Amino acid sequence: MSKPLSDYDKRKQISVRGLAGVDNVSDLKTNFNRHLHFTLVKDRNVATKRDYYFALAHTVRDHLVGRWIRTQQHYYEKDPKRVYYLSLEFYMGRALQNTMVNLALENACDEAAYQLGLDMEDLEDMEEDAGLGNGGLGRLAACFLDSMASLGLAAYGYGIRYEFGIFNQKIVSGWQVEEADDWLRYGNPWEKARPEYMRPVHFYGRTEHHPDGVKWVDTQVVLALPYDTPVPGYRNNVVNTMRLWSAKAPCEFNLKDFNVGGYIQAVLDRNLAENISRVLYPNDNFFEGKELRLKQEYFVVAATLQDIIRRFKVSKFGSREVVRTDFTCLPKKVGRAQPLDMYSWICMLPEALERWPIDLFQTLLPRHLEIIYEINQRHLERVASLYPGDMERLQRMSLIEEGGMKRVNMAHLCIVGSHAVNGVAQIHSDILKATVCVRLCGTRDTHLLSTYTVITSIPLSITHSTSIPLSITHSTSIPLSITHSTSIPLYINHSTSIPLSITHSTSIPLSITRSTSVPLSITHSTSIPLSITHSTSIPLSISHSTSIPLSITQICVLLSQAAPGYHTAKMIIRLVTAIGEVVNNDPVVGDRLKVIFLENYRVTLAEKAIPAADLSEQISTAGTEASGTGNMKFMLNGALTIGTMDGANVEMAEEAGEENLFIFGMRVEDVEALDKKGYNASEYYNRIPELKLAVDQIAAGFFSTKQPDLFKGIVDMLMHHDRFKVFADYEDYMKCQEKVSALYKKPREWTKKVILNIAGSGKFSSDRTISQYAREIWGVEPSLEKIAAPDDLK
């Protein structure tokens, strides 16, 4: 029998640009075998799949090294203005495939793997996700790093190297169960420890005021040990650095009370200091107020600022190395006059606002609290000069909240201290201006606010290079800039190519998922996660599913994680799985409706599930979702959106034409009007029979026969204290779903809308956001000089 065509051969036949790096194949094989032998210390008799993954990862990484060193050398010599992106979360996902794509190595690696008798997808599946984020905020940081490298900005990501990332979610008997994410267990081939750049970070202690200045003394020191991860740009030979700090106890930690037996205890106590970088807080849009979290925040900022200043001081002029001591030009090299830009994920939901209790601050960072008091005093003096004699206003506008426990309002501090604050979507900026202005400046007049900061509105976005379906990035090598127009025909496929992973992980017969008449709707961004917005919008679609008129067949897929301590969100997940158990086994419903909860939502699952969707449900109550980025990923991947006029849905409708989305429900003004009038859930419950039926079924234990009042709490919440007023949108949502069903029966019209959506998604490329940021806020220019390709491996 003749050998079947490899993917590589097939691709060679259809490739429009030819294959980059064909010559590399034999080199790659050689290096792969060399790494298997010398790095993994294995031969092919005993090597596991994971060994093969590591050998491949090291082989690919070798191609990064020369570019990485050259890029950093280039920055050192040219000394451009740097961009520093500090974040507590970098939700990177996997590195292997992205690196191969960005270095144009994926075809050659595919072929090398094939010739070695290995399956590329198998190997890729051995890589742990770098799950150092909860959701949108962390994923955005990852997309931004990607775009900053692709645009050739001298940029650095700074964060924490959590030993445990976002927990792994298991669904056990319908319930969410968390497992620790031990992602570093087998080692991480992408990172390089840099102990030579370790920095001390101080905590606790007290201040001493002397005539010549203030001293912070008797502190506890924790060392910040950096680990560098390469961030390759898209085929431009740029490799930037993400530097993540890990906490290390100093050698003398607790040893000063050395005595008999004290030594062992002191060594054991080192864990306490090192706990700072142990685990990511699994809270999205929620402020828990834990001391360890404040430690994490200060740890990353203090270590990073020291690193920035070290880099600023040492610079090269021509062939001469100098040590800079004059700091007045720091703003020219870093950020602007006040070198701080803040994203604002604040203010949409009050429970997300960081408000640190003064006592906690005083104990952990006494000197910093004094400085905050000083900033507050200057702020209040400014207010007093604008509104003389208005004592009541002064009290209201203080950065330090009085009344009950005294707290530092971090959002207000951020506005007073930053030169620009970004609203993440137009609707968010407007709400931000209105609410923050009134709270912080005591007036709707933006004058005082504008003396502190500009509130900009640069919309959020996603990287297009990795957000398009894997099948596309693999099968074509379309340059990023034209990804849009040229890739459209390749993935507009009405029947959707549902990844097998979905059909596998559930017991849905393949025939259903294959059927071309199945709209696969992914209720994702509206997903239950962590944020209450999300969790309470779920019942809208869930209860809809229970009363769905089965005129067309639907598979409803839900993805989300509940914060471990968030009871309501967990109950909603339980409700989804319970509905699935009933609906998916109901002989009358048959194959016309399936409700599937996919466990362990994360970057790699998003990459598979999102391209499979026909319909994306983005159904938060208007004014509660700041932007969303999941909505954009679905749009780019050929799903149509059913959604409210909230977050970035507004801009999506603007770009693609409102008639090409399924927009329903209250606008922000309607919600405000309803608030004034008073929201009464039972009014809708009594008036809308389908809603009543759905709620009654859930309440009566139809989905929980063994425990009829399992969902009593949820029904109670929906009927009596639903801050999100979801029933008010219910009727319109139902009608809108009928429009979806009607259009789905007309594939040509549906497809036309899909094409218009994809064509309109360009604005949501993070390359656009970053260019805009660089120009309008950071005042940095992409490097025009090309970084030459290294001949690393010759």
Q: List residues near ligand PLP by CB under 6 A.
A: 135-136, 139, 524-525, 601-603, 606, 628-630, 633
What's the min distance (Å) between Cβ of 90 and ligand PLP?
13
CB crowding 541-567: b at 16 or more within 10 Å, else e: bbbbbbbbeeebbbbbbbbbbbbeebe
- Its sign, for the CA torsion 771, 18, 60, 80, is negative
Alpha helices in 525-594 (DSSP H): 532-546, 567-583
Give the residue with the Cβ less far from ligand PLP, 240 or 766.
766
Query: E-assigned strands of 126-219?
Result: 130-132, 155-160, 168-172, 175-179, 192-193, 199-203, 206-210, 213-217
What's the min distance (Å) between Cβ of 662 and ligand PLP?
17
Give the residue with the Cβ less far from ligand PLP, 63 or 524.
524
Give the residue with the Cβ less far from ligand PLP, 291 or 654.
654
What's the min distance (Å) between Cβ of 142 and ligand PLP?
9
What's the min distance (Å) between Cβ of 304 and ligand PLP?
25
What's the min distance (Å) between Cβ of 639 and ligand PLP?
12
Give the residue with the Cβ less far from ligand PLP, 524 or 594.
524
What's the min distance (Å) between Cβ of 165 and ligand PLP?
12
Is the Cβ–Cβ distance between 483 and 465 less than 8 Å? yes
Give the residue with the Cβ less far from ligand PLP, 466 or 513.
466
Residue 685 and residue 680: Cα distance in Å, rounded? 9
Alpha-carbon distance values, 496 to 94, 219, 499, 610, 789 (Å):
24, 59, 9, 11, 39
Give the residue with the Cβ less far from ligand PLP, 135 or 205.
135
Give the residue with the Cβ less far from ligand PLP, 192 or 608.
608
Element spanning 226, H or E: strand 220-232
What's the min distance (Å) between Cβ of 757 and ligand PLP?
16
What's the min distance (Å) between Cβ of 563 and ligand PLP?
13
Is the Cβ–Cβ distance between 559 and 609 less than 8 Å? yes
C-alpha Rg value of the chain to the nearest Å: 27
Residue 165 and residue 731: Cα distance in Å, rounded? 40
What's the min distance (Å) between Cβ of 136 and ligand PLP?
4
- Its sign, for the CA torsion 304, 307, 309, 312, is negative
Alpha helices in 387-469 (DSSP H): 391-397, 410-417, 426-441, 447-452, 464-467
Tokens 């509104």, residue located: 387
Alpha helices in 662-746 (DSSP H): 668-677, 681-687, 689-699, 712-720, 730-744
Number of H helices, E strands in the chain: 33, 26
CA count, 13 A, side-chain hemisphere, 667: 3
Residue 225 and residue 204: Cα distance in Å, rounded? 20
Give the residue with the Cβ less far from ligand PLP, 131 or 539.
131
What's the min distance (Å) between Cβ of 79 and ligand PLP?
35
| Token digits of residue 562 | 């509940």
Tokens 């025939």, residue located: 511
What's the min distance (Å) between Cβ of 602 and ligand PLP?
5
Strand partners, 470: none
| Token digits of residue 293 | 């979290």
What's the min distance (Å) between Cβ of 657 and ligand PLP?
22
What's the min distance (Å) between Cβ of 253 and ligand PLP?
37
Give the residue with the Cβ less far from ligand PLP, 384 or 472.
472
Residue 697's identity, in one-letter code, is: Q
- Its sign, for the CA torsion 679, 684, 685, 691, is negative
3-state secondary structure of 678: coil
Give the residue with the Cβ less far from ligand PLP, 24 or 629.
629
Give the residue with the Cβ less far from ligand PLP, 107 or 467.
467
Residue 427 and residue 514: Cα distance in Å, rounded? 39
Give the residue with the Cβ less far from ligand PLP, 139 or 161.
139
Residue 532 and residue 568: Cα distance in Å, rounded? 9
User: With the CA atoms of 267, 268, 271 and 272 taken in that order, what torsion angle do they form, in degrees rounded to the nearest 10?
Assistant: -100
What's the min distance (Å) between Cβ of 139 and ligand PLP?
4
Give the residue with the Cβ less far from ligand PLP, 34 or 608.
608
What's the min distance (Å) between Cβ of 167 and ligand PLP?
13
Tokens 């005083």, residue located: 362
Could you tell me how many residues make up the chain? 794
Give the residue with the Cβ less far from ligand PLP, 408 or 610.
610
Q: Supply φ then ψ for residue 656, to 5 degrees.
A: -95, -10
Give the residue with the Cβ less far from ligand PLP, 469 or 628.
628
Residue 221 and residue 14: Cα distance in Å, rounded? 60
